[in-house]
Amino acid sequence: MLITKSSFGKLQNGVEVSLYTLLNDNGVEVAITNYGGIVTSIKTPDKNGVLENVVLGFNSLEGYISDEYLQGYPYFGCIIGRFGNRIANGRFTLNGKEYRLAINNGPNHLHGGNVGFDRVVWDAEEVVQAGKVGVKLSYLSPDGEENYPGNLKVTVIYSLSDDNKFGIEYFAETDKATPVNLTQHSYFNLAGGRGDILGHQLQIFCDKRTQLNENAIPTGGIIPVEGTAYDFRELKPIGKDIAGLPDGYDRNFVLGNEKGELIHAAKLVESNSGRVMDVFTTEVGLQLYTGFWIPEIKGYDGAQYGKYAGVALEAQHFPDSVNHPEFPTTILNPGGQYNQKTIYRFSTFH
């Protein structure tokens, strides 16, 4: 097990950004920058032992702050907060007060606003424990940042273990009631970042999803996936039923995990490489996004990205939960602690 730190470049305001590389005894390597908590690469072996990067990203900081990337900003690999996913019309009412947030996705608020946790520099600390290495990222989101209430103290711990588990654990505390819905926005391409993900096979271990309106906002309904393009109860190619979906998949699946236990949520398989990724989470929902809006851009090691270049499996609470009292709550109160965990486990088959 090894962890190294190197320079990743400077932001336009002169702030230096670092890159932390985690390496386990199997050669699996995860690189993380404290800018946005971005996972820039995850290198895992295929069935023949060949190491390749299986997430979308860039080799340098410049890629993440370029106009070309930000114009069609796909949130490669970053921490999302304070609130992942959409809030209808950028409005919610809490304890009798209405809060108005940035409208940055059609008529809605998306992923915490114009400058969410994906665009800030986090404090970073190396973590070494028995059987794993990691990085502890900390950020204090001040009261009123992006119009959210309360000083929110956030900690995210990334870890890599010798059994090829990449873990993400989230903690948060506040001094004023506030919505919190943190997630991680990596896009996976288990073929080593080549081609699209339509041939990847996906299984999601649940039978329901949230029903959405025309603006991608939940109606409040929870509907079965059976007999629809959203039925991933058995392994099937992502591209099998995608033709009938104008923008591909971008939906929240209901995991039925109200107790918050660490459950097996999904499995992703790429047969040519033999790579398998299993997703475990304490969360109640899993957002499947197949990257329809990924811009045509050169990425990590010159890989050509574009529509369907990667698939995001984002463990989180339901979209617009703040406006749906019938959904599991996303409100964190003073004295309480937000704590969620997601694990991506990598393996191969022959």
- What tokens does 47 get? 């069935």
Give percent of the chain above pLDDT 70: 100
Runs of H (alpha helix) within the chain: 61-65, 67-71
Average pLDDT over residues 33-50: 99
Q: Are 92 and 99 in contact (CB under 8 A)?
A: yes
CB atoms within 10 A of CB 226: 10
- The pLDDT score that the predictor gives to residue 24 is 97
3-class DSSP state of 130: coil
pLDDT above 90 (res 41): yes
Which of 134, 136, 137, 138 shows the shortest CA–CA distance to 159? 134
> Is 37 a residue whose pLDDT tops 90?
yes
pLDDT at 203 over 90: yes
**What do you get for the CA distance between the two ends of the chain, in Å?**
26
Print the domain residue range for 43. Answer: 2-348
Averaged pLDDT of the chain: 98
Catalytic annotation, residues: 185, 314
Q: Which of 153, 170, 186, 178 shows the shortest CA–CA distance to 78?
A: 186
Mean pLDDT, residues 237-264 taken together: 97
Two structure tokens written together for 163: 């059994």
CB 37 within 8 A of CB 186: no
pLDDT of 130 = 87
Q: What pLDDT, in 10s, does the model give residues 272-284? A: 999 999 999 999 9
pLDDT digits (tens, 9 = 90+) for 107-144: 999 999 999 999 999 999 999 988 999 999 999 999 99
Nearest-angstrom CA–CA distance, 22 and 1: 8
pLDDT class of 103 with cuts at 50, 70, 90: very high
Length of the chain: 350
Cis omega (within 30 of 0) for bond into 209: no
Using CA of residue 328, residue 331, residue 337, residue 342, what is the dihedral sign?
Answer: positive
Contacts of 1 (CB under 8 A, 6+ apart): 23, 24, 25, 128, 131, 132, 133, 160, 162
Mean pLDDT (whole number) for 93-118: 98
Domain count, the chain: 1
CATH number (domain holding residue 22): 2.70.98.10
pLDDT at 289 over 90: yes
pLDDT in tens, 24-36: 999 999 999 999 9
pLDDT for 299 equals 98
